[in-house]
Amino acid sequence: MTTNTETISFFSLALDRQPGLVSRKKTSIRRGMLLGGTPPGWNVLALSQNDFYQYCDQAAIKLHEITIECHGVYLVCNGRPYIFISDKLRGAEKTFVCFHEIGHFWLHKPGDQFSADGKRPSRWANAIEIEADIVAVCAMIPLTVLKRHRPGEIADLYGYAPELVRLRQEVFDCWQI
C-alpha cells in the first residue's frame, strides 16, 4: 500500500534533483527535441498506466517489473530497448517512473550522458533526468488539463499528490511546456 507520506517524499525526490525553481531554470533543457521526440498524444491527453503498456508494445520495448533497488531503469542491449520497473511501485508513483523511463527511450540515445570520450559527463548529463521527469509529469498532467483546472481540482480529479501537480506547474513556469 502507498501511504500519503511515501507519495509526498517520492515526488519531492523527483523535484530535489535540481532543488528550487531558480536552479531548475538555470538548467538548459532541449525543449525542441523534447517536443519533437514525444508522441502526438503526449501533453494533450492524460496518459495512464495502460497507455504506457501500449507504447511499450508498439515500440517492442521489453518490459520487466521486477525486484530492484532503484525505481526504474532504461537500457539498450544488442539494439533492443529494455525497461525495468520496481515491483514495489503502485499507482501514480509507478506511472511516473514508467513514463520517466520511456521518456529516455523517446528522447535519449544510449550514452547521451557521457561526452565523446565516454568518460566525462556530457553537457546534457544534468538535463537528461530533468527531461525524463518533464516527459513523465506532462504525460500524467497534460497542458490541456493544467489550463482547464485549478491545482486542487487536478489532484482530486486524478488522485494525484499535490507535489506532482506542483511539479507540473513548475515545468510550465520554467519552460512553457
Give 129 or 163: the residue with its C-beta nearer to Zn ion: 129
- Beta strands 62-66 and 72-77 are unpaired
Distance CA 19, CA 98 (A): 22
Cα distances from 173 to residues 2, 24, 102, 166, in angstroms, run: 29, 11, 24, 10
Indicate the length of the chain as a whole number: 177
Residue closest to Zn ion when measured from CB atoms:
132
How many residues at the interface with Zn ion, by CB under 5 A?
2
Residue 132 CB, nearest distance to Zn ion (Å)?
4
Distance CA 80, CA 169 (A): 35
DSSP 33-66: HHHHHS-TTTTTS---HHHHHHHHHHTT-EEEEE
**154 touching Zn ion, by CB under 5 A:** no
Give 11 or 154: the residue with its C-beta nearer to Zn ion: 11
Quick one: cell of 121?
Answer: 559527463
Distance CA 72, CA 85 (A): 4
Residue 148 CB, nearest distance to Zn ion (Å)?
29
- What type of residue is 24? R
Residue 106 CB, nearest distance to Zn ion (Å)?
12
Give 84 or 160: the residue with its C-beta nearer to Zn ion: 84
Give 14 or 165: the residue with its C-beta nearer to Zn ion: 14
Residue 159 CB, nearest distance to Zn ion (Å)?
24
Where in 79-138 is the site for Zn ion (CB under 5 A)?
129, 132
Give 107 or 132: the residue with its C-beta nearer to Zn ion: 132
Residue 131 CB, nearest distance to Zn ion (Å)?
9
Q: Which chain residues interact with Zn ion by CB under 5 A?
A: 129, 132
